[in-house]
Structure 1
Amino acid sequence: MQRTLTRRTTLLVAVTALGLSACGSESSNQPAPGGKVAITVTGQPPSSQAIERKIFDADVAEFEKLNPDIDIVPHEGFMDPKTFSAKLAGGQLEDVYYVYFTDPANIIARRQAADITEHIKDMAVVKQLQPALLDIFKDRGGKIYGLPTANYSMGLLYNRTLFTKAGLDPDKPPTSWDQVRDAAKKISALGNGTIGFADLSKNNQGGWHLVTWAYAMGSQIARQEGEKWTADFNNAKVKQALQLLKDMRWTDNSMGEKQLLEATDVQRLMGAGQLGMYLGAPDNVPVLVKEFKGKYDDYGVAALPGSGTLLGGEGYMINPKASPEKIKAGLKWIDWKYLDPNRIEQRINQYLAEQQPIGLPAIPTPDIYTGDTRAKQAELKTKYANVPEKNFAAYLEGNTRLKGNLEPPNAQQVYAVLDNVMQGVLTNKDANIDQLLSDAEAKVNSALAQVK
């Protein structure tokens, strides 16, 4: 199931804003007709995503056929910040519910998820999941409250055709920020409105990208001391990133005149063949092809230069009021639908039947495994690839050396503040980076003070 850059930035949820207790969440534990266990589950794609919806509904039917004692009641949608808190308070939370990686820590602290530690002891796939991803769903005592089902990390998305035109080797994308700057200048020199590099700066997306820059440079955004969080980005590493952006924008003129961009703006430019590079995850590529008339052969994704990247993803948790029978049924659904290594080839074939891309990182099977399962997944994706896998080799190889960092607490509030920093650098030639960061630091500390 694809998560586009646009969807991710508009639906990321800061659950720290939910001042709710577990007692507000109820799960109907009445048996379904015929002795079945009925469970409500989120994650059914909207009807506008016809292919994903078709595959999901087919999976529900197949699962119920294989498990006649379980009745899946799918609910459309994923994690909607406009309704999630109300559902929790009103007792309408599903038995199995979707979360972003930013959510579990606060959900666990507020006892809004069931402890599944004992229930998953015999679930073989758990031992094949990346430990760092499983840790996201653990409390400080090591108990487990959910399972990861997909992840992504930010990379450098680039136009291979423009690289070739600019005399750059598309099979050797930049591995340092100096090389990114040099490539952006050469691509901009092609003329005809071509832009070497673009970045986002509004609707919280600029702040989201500044966090990515900070991680790439080896900085954090916030640090925790005991129970208190403090801003940790007003430093030389983040200043270096902002100075680079400022130089590219105003000295090199390689970022174009139009600023205050958001996701769809850079995707439109890239799809039209007018943009050389931007920060993004591989799931942007199908968007460029399907929505902006691009071609898979034209795009590549490399790992971010530097020492770190922004790690994100999703998983599922169980209603804390669910009965043991519902927990068992819910975990069986999560395992079969999202995790089962024996279904990797089936899932690939489902996408092939719908003429969907195979060979992109994380699509249609998530890169969440280790060991034999990961090797099997890679072998199958190569076997069935219908897009050029080599275009993403630098991303997969490079990510092995990068530290993955989660989003900061109260992410959306932090992003809103950091938008102003990005806007200042990209719209004001005389912007004072020190002052922008100092102002932002005070406001981010206020946002972090609300973290409980």
Structure 2
Amino acid sequence: MGLAALGMVSAIGLSAAGCGNDSKAGGDVTLKVVVADYGTPGSANSSKGYWDDLVRAFEADGRHGGVKVDVTVLSWEEVDDKVAEMVKAGEAPDIAQIGAYADYAASDKLYSASELLSIPVHADIIPALAQAGELGRVQYGLPFVSSTRLLFYNKTLFTEAGLDPAKPPKSWDELQSAAEALRTAGVKHPYGLPLGPEEAQAESMMWMLSGGGGYTDNVNTYTLDSNENVKTFTWLRDEFVGKGLTGPDSPGKTNRRQLFEAFAKGEVGMLNGHPTLMQQAAKGKVDFGTAPLPGREGEAGATMGVADWIMGFKQNGNREQIGAFLDFVFSTEQHYSFTDRYDLLPVTTSASEKMLDDKKHKDLWPFLEQLGAAEFYPVSKVSWAATSAEVKKSIGRAVEKGTDPQAVLTSLQRRAETEEAAARARR
């Protein structure tokens, strides 16, 4: 879709995005918007600059009546809690850009995507991401930005270990052999396995997918203790951690941030990473490569995708105005501007095509090419937040010597089922 067409989308947003009697059509309206900061708060790269420019352009457009926009930018450490407090106090923002949407959707606090977005803009969202925003087959969460995961490896360490840096491992056996060579060469962390509380749910999901499993099945039922997942963690315990291929620290006490920093110092041979790691590695002057995640027999059939979400709340009844603003946010020019600034992946087809045409982002192309087939957290399950928290606490035990992975995963499965039943009872 061209920019002119997207401009027309914004212009017609007040009629195409929603026309119910709960909207305050006509008159001056100020939308209250709360968003997360993707830069460093108070610094030159804070997201505040992007939102200031976007709001200025939206209000100057002249086709949105008296709609004004007041944006509050908060750090990721506080934005989810702040929005939750506002909703609980009966002061929900009109729009929130946060980490999860399911609780609010299940409580009937959100407009659906079809109630907000005009048809062309809604159709422009990448289907896999649109589906990830559904609850009960209705989309409430609008993906804001996304990322996927690849295997990162240090080419210099590969060479020193006698490995061909042009041939990264494609299977678990090859991954194990490469890790053994790196260990023999004296690399501190042949393979970085962060199963500590920071983001163990992500590392676990990547391994589950590469082993043919996952958190849920194709009907969104929890399957944490599936045969595939048990085999995966048993292999990790016996063939990786048990053979000293993950470094001196316990994976269950090792966080992603530690290993990303170590990779940037040249102390890690291989690990799973997202686009941000490219910036850290480049600053550390690490010569690195990326490759698809290795799987049990060959390249993994899927990789993990992650999305952050933006949503419209019903409380203030500004459906038409919210829709017009979100149409503008998702226009190719504005959406690409944000992803370009922070080296993130677009969530629309038009902005993705623009990034694939921009050689400046050539390093992002492998991540972007996997997005359409990526698997996402089961964020549509209201129980996922509690389940994810429990995974962070205990999944690391599954790879410890003398621990039964089946028992750890079964315990997580039971907790997940209990949380899911309780969530259903509350709805």
Short-chain TM bin: 0.7 to 0.9
Q: Is the 8 A contact 1:198 1:277 kept in 2?
A: yes
Residues 107 and 344 of structure 1: CA distance in aligned 2, closer, same or farther (over 3 Å): closer
What residue is the counterpart of 2:127 in the other structure? 131
1:110 deviates by 1.5
Secondary structure of the residue aligned to 1:368 is coil
1:116 deviates by 4.9
1:263 lines up with 2:235 in the alignment: no
1:395 deviates by 4.3
Count, aligned residues? 387
Structure 2 Cα separation of the partners of residues 369 and 171 of structure 1:
32
RMSD (CA atoms)? 3.3
Q: Is the 8 A contact 1:185 1:254 kept in 2?
A: yes
CA deviations on 1:210-234 (whole Å, 9 max, x unpaired) are 2332122221324597xxx864122
Match of 1:294, as an amino acid? G
Structure 1 Cα separation of the partners of residues 195 and 137 of structure 2:
39
Q: Which moved more, 1:391-400 or 1:255-264?
A: 391-400
Q: Identical aligned pairs, as a percentage?
A: 19
What residue is the counterpart of 1:42 in the other structure? 34
Structure 2 unmatched ranges of 5 or more: 1-21, 295-299
1:406 lines up with 2:399 in the alignment: no
1:423 lines up with 2:396 in the alignment: yes
What residue is the counterpart of 1:13 in the other structure? none
Alignment of 1:290-301 (within 5 A): 293-295=283-285, 298-301=287-290
1:346 deviates by 5.3
CA deviations on 1:369-398 (whole Å, 9 max, x unpaired) are 33x65333311x21x34xxx3x55554556
Alignment of 1:46-85 (within 5 A): 47-52=41-46, 53-67=48-62, 69-77=66-74, 80-85=79-84
Alignment of 1:50-449 (within 5 A): 50-52=44-46, 53-67=48-62, 69-77=66-74, 80-100=79-99, 103-122=100-119, 124-140=120-136, 142=138, 144-191=139-186, 193-203=187-197, 205-222=199-216, 231-259=222-250, 260-288=253-281, 293-295=283-285, 298-305=287-294, 306-323=300-317, 326-337=318-329, 339-343=330-334, 351=341, 363-364=343-344, 366-370=345-349, 374-379=352-357, 381-382=358-359, 384-385=360-361, 389=362, 394-397=366-369, 402-407=373-378, 409=381, 410-419=383-392, 422-426=395-399, 428-449=400-421
1:251 deviates by 4.5
What residue is the counterpart of 1:15 in the other structure? none
What residue is the counterpart of 2:18 in the other structure? none
Q: Is the 8 A contact 1:128 1:373 kept in 2?
A: no
Q: Is the 8 A contact 1:204 1:415 kept in 2?
A: no
Structure 1 Cα separation of the partners of residues 49 and 172 of structure 2:
42
1:313 deviates by 0.4
